[in-house]
Amino acid sequence: MERLVVISNRTGDLENKTQTGGLAVGIVDALRSRGGMWVGWNGEVGRESKASRKTYDNVISLTMPLSEEEHEQYYLGFANKVLWPAFHYRLDLMDHRTEFVDRYAAVNRKFADMTCPHLREDDLIWIHDYHLIPLAAEFRQRDCRQKIGFFLHIPFPSADVFSAIPYHDWLRECFLQFDLIGLQTKNDVQNFCRYLREHSDVEFITSNTVRWHDQVITIADFPIGIDVQQFAEMAHQDDDTIELERMRRTVLKRFQIISADRLDYSKGLPQRMKAFRKFLEDCPEYQGRAEYLQIASPSREDVSAYADIRAELEGLTGAVNGKFADFNWAPIQYINRNIPREQLAQLFRCSLVGLITPLRDGMNLVAKEYVAAQDDKDPGILILSKFAGAAEELDQAIIVNPYDIHDVAQALKRAAVMSMDERRERHRSLLKQVTGNDANQWKDNYLAALQSAGTSGELKKRF
């Protein structure tokens, strides 16, 4: 079996036996069974930190720090002030400067320089996410003929929106150096193919396979999954504090709603809080009973759009609590820090509603985790945005338009009175879906497709 070489902006923790998150679970498993290498940024910034090469049995971890400029211009700059907002349909937040794209290209060159000397001829190379779109092109320039696949974890926007990104032509040329372009959803694949039809001369061999020069490129959807069993086990561990929370639901008949997100403007947090406020106004019988717990883990705090959203949320929480709270009840609990995954899993288990309403999301694994954490005798209800990639698979959730505050408030109302039979029926179907396409299945599907993708044996050098 070919070795696997994975390259992503951040690397996973190969030291740890138990991995968290879909990406790490699937990838560490594949790396351990095939042997290989995981290359990426070590998460550190500055001159003190050094590149390192460590070996864990049959897997090599190759990491490097970023300089201050690289962090500023490649990671915070082109990746998170240009690509991230644009791919999430927020062209208004795009803040482009020439030095950003230059540094983005330079860091990709650096990743290629660091990786190339360690590559074997028959390695399978799997590159992840929007930070590393030009990396295959860099490898091809260095005469690498291996199969190179890409997986985009975030949404691929509509053709018009993508074409509004400065340097989209260059990005397209970079994309076309891969053998396989994996996206999260069928909608993403349609967007990508439509963009190619409208903005390039590639020849379509099938609806999702194109020929460009001597290269055949497949574009397909591979919806990412989670380790269902691991998450369910965490959710069912005993914990006294969480037991109290569960009693609040069963004994005190509290209507508990939970949301957990990175604090990102794409997650629709202000709209969600406003929808909850509308629910309290429309259903006064839930004042004193409804409790909305929002866990928002800090993220990319050096980007001003993230600081703005944080300030907005703090204002909204204060306003809603100020208006509705009583001395023995506050409608919103807002936690702006990371909490341990075990605790999160248990909180999911005892909340009647998982309210997951991003304005745009590649997949949203929290939605799948909420489903995995539920008890099948007394399962909670998932309310899910139609703009989360997960909505393509999880159609038994209550699907809402996150921009429509009235629609989300109505969904909360529906959830509050949903019969146990309906809850169980929906949950059965959601769990089947989440289990049928878990982290391992995702990785197996992708790697099988990569192995059979591309035009083998030909020199793939085009620059």
Site string for ligand F6P, 199-238 (x = CB under 6 A): ----------------------------------------
Residue with tokens 């002030």: 81
Query: Minimum distance between the CB of residue 129 and ligand F6P, rounded to whole angstroms?
Result: 5
* Residue 71 engages ligand F6P in binding (rule: CB under 6 A): no
Enclosing H/E stretch for 52: strand 52-56
When the beta carbons of 24 and 411 are compared against ligand F6P, the nearer one is: 24
Query: Minimum distance between the CB of residue 128 and ligand F6P, rounded to whole angstroms?
Result: 7
CA distances to 14, 218, 273, 437, 440 from 444, in Å: 19, 17, 39, 10, 6
Query: Minimum distance between the CB of residue 277 and ligand F6P, rounded to whole angstroms?
Result: 28
Number of residues located near ligand F6P, criterion CB under 6 A: 7
Handedness of CA 26, 28, 31, 32 (dihedral sign): negative
**CB count, 10 Å around CB of 274?**
17
Nearest-angstrom CA–CA distance, 221 and 390: 12
* Residue 361 is among the residues annotated as catalytic for this protein: yes
When the beta carbons of 303 and 411 are compared against ligand F6P, the nearer one is: 303
Query: Which listed residue (153, 261, 264, 427) is catalytic?
Result: 153
When the beta carbons of 21 and 288 are compared against ligand F6P, the nearer one is: 21
Query: Minimum distance between the CB of residue 9 and ligand F6P, rounded to whole angstroms?
Result: 6
Residue with the closest Cβ to ligand F6P?
153
Which tokens hold the place of 68?
């201050």
Nearest-angstrom CA–CA distance, 223 and 23: 11
Amino acid letter at 309?
I
Query: Minimum distance between the CB of residue 163 and ligand F6P, rounded to whole angstroms?
Result: 22
List CB contacts of 49: < 8 A, sequence separation 6 or more.
42, 65
* Residue 299 engages ligand F6P in binding (rule: CB under 6 A): yes
Which tokens hold the place of 153?
């974890």
Residue with tokens 């069993």: 229
The answer to whether residues 321 and 313 touch, using CB atoms and an 8 Å cutoff, is: no
When the beta carbons of 144 and 344 are compared against ligand F6P, the nearer one is: 344
Amino acid letter at 3?
R
Site string for ligand F6P, 95-124 (x = CB under 6 A): ------------------------------
Query: Minimum distance between the CB of residue 72 and ligand F6P, rounded to whole angstroms?
Result: 14
Give, as one character, the DSSP assignment of residue 83: I
Query: Which listed residue (221, 361, 427, 438) is catalytic?
Result: 361
Nearest-angstrom CA–CA distance, 170 and 166: 9
Nearest-angstrom CA–CA distance, 326 and 247: 20
Nearest-angstrom CA–CA distance, 270 and 276: 10
* Residue 129 engages ligand F6P in binding (rule: CB under 6 A): yes
When the beta carbons of 299 and 440 are compared against ligand F6P, the nearer one is: 299
Nearest-angstrom CA–CA distance, 124 and 156: 24
Nearest-angstrom CA–CA distance, 376 and 428: 8
When the beta carbons of 154 and 344 are compared against ligand F6P, the nearer one is: 154
The answer to whether residues 125 and 149 touch, using CB atoms and an 8 Å cutoff, is: yes
Query: Minimum distance between the CB of residue 80 and ligand F6P, rounded to whole angstroms?
Result: 6
Nearest-angstrom CA–CA distance, 457 and 344: 48
Tell me the H-state helices in 207-303. Answer: 228-235, 240-250, 269-282
CA distances to 146, 320, 403 from 295, in Å: 42, 16, 20
When the beta carbons of 10 and 109 are compared against ligand F6P, the nearer one is: 10
Interacting positions 335-394 with ligand F6P (CB under 6 A) = 362
300, 413, 424, 462: residue in contact with ligand F6P (rule CB under 6 A)? 300
Nearest-angstrom CA–CA distance, 141 and 153: 25
When the beta carbons of 306 and 403 are compared against ligand F6P, the nearer one is: 306
* Residue 199 is among the residues annotated as catalytic for this protein: no
**CB count, 10 Å around CB of 193?**
19
List CB contacts of 438: < 8 A, sequence separation 6 or more.
225, 226, 227, 228
When the beta carbons of 41 and 348 are compared against ligand F6P, the nearer one is: 41
Site string for ligand F6P, 246-285 (x = CB under 6 A): ----------------------------------------
The answer to whether residues 271 and 405 touch, using CB atoms and an 8 Å cutoff, is: yes
**Active-site annotation, residues:** 153, 361
Q: By CB under 6 A, name the binding residues for ligand F6P.
A: 10, 129, 153-154, 299-300, 362
